[in-house]
A and B are shown apart, each in its own frame.
Chain A
Amino acid sequence: LAKTTQPISMDSYEGQEVNITCSHNNIATNDYITWYQQFPSQGPRFIIQGYKTKVTNEVASLFIPADRKSSTLSLPRVSLSDTAVYYCLVGALSYNTDKLIFGTGTRLQVFP
């Protein structure tokens, strides 16, 4: 499973767009990129998943360049409630086991 590297922390203000970049230089051909969000005292929560180019849902957008060695999670117009830890995970959907491999995550702090 590919190792991921992402910033330990980021600060932002309400209303701003936040972009969190994750590096995964050893991503395999059949790997997907998945982002989870975790609030204090809660379990991680799936945000978005993609394979290539751009994926958008009601929560975020995920940008994946052609070489797929990195990805960027984009949160439009963040609010205080977006303060959380964001994890970038890389792995195929159809391994014999589907264990998620979490890295250190990026701690996003949104200020008023």
Chain B
Amino acid sequence: EAGVTQFPSHSVIEKGQTVTLRCDPISGHDNLYWYRRVMGKEIKFLLHFVKESKQDESGMPNNRFLAERTGGTYSTLKVQPAELEDSGVYFCASSQSRDNEQFFGPGTRLTVL
């Protein structure tokens, strides 16, 4: 069974540009989460989808971040425009139900110059 996949693995962009990160959860997992770790800080929750609906987006830092999960399968996280402080590793996780463990992807390392 394939795990959670994320694309790209690395992204280097300039301040002000737009970047879109993609996450493919494990097939059949209705719950999808985004987390990120910025330099020197702890892994922080961003938001949680149940199928295509946003269950909790309390961790989204500001309106430059937009997450979507059309069709309830893969999800995208767009940062527009990117700022220097957005640099970090963005993790996606999925779970079959809310009572099950979360399976994490390898993360996307975003560098904003």
**Using a CB–CB distance below 8 Å, which chain A residues touch chain B?**
34, 41-46, 49, 87, 93-94, 96-105
Contact = CB atoms under 8 A, between A and B. Distances in A.
Contacts of A96: 55-56
Interface of B: 4, 31, 33, 35, 42-45, 48, 55-56, 58-59, 91-93, 95, 98-99, 101-107
Given A43-B91, A94-B99, A98-B102, 16 more contacts: A41-B106, A41-B107, A42-B104, A43-B93, A43-B105, A44-B43, A46-B101, A46-B103, A49-B101, A98-B33, A99-B33, A99-B58, A99-B59, A100-B93, A101-B45, A103-B42
A93 B98 contact: yes
Nearest to B31: A98
The interface residues of chain A, by DSSP majority, are classed as loop
Contacts of A49: 101
A102 B101 contact: no
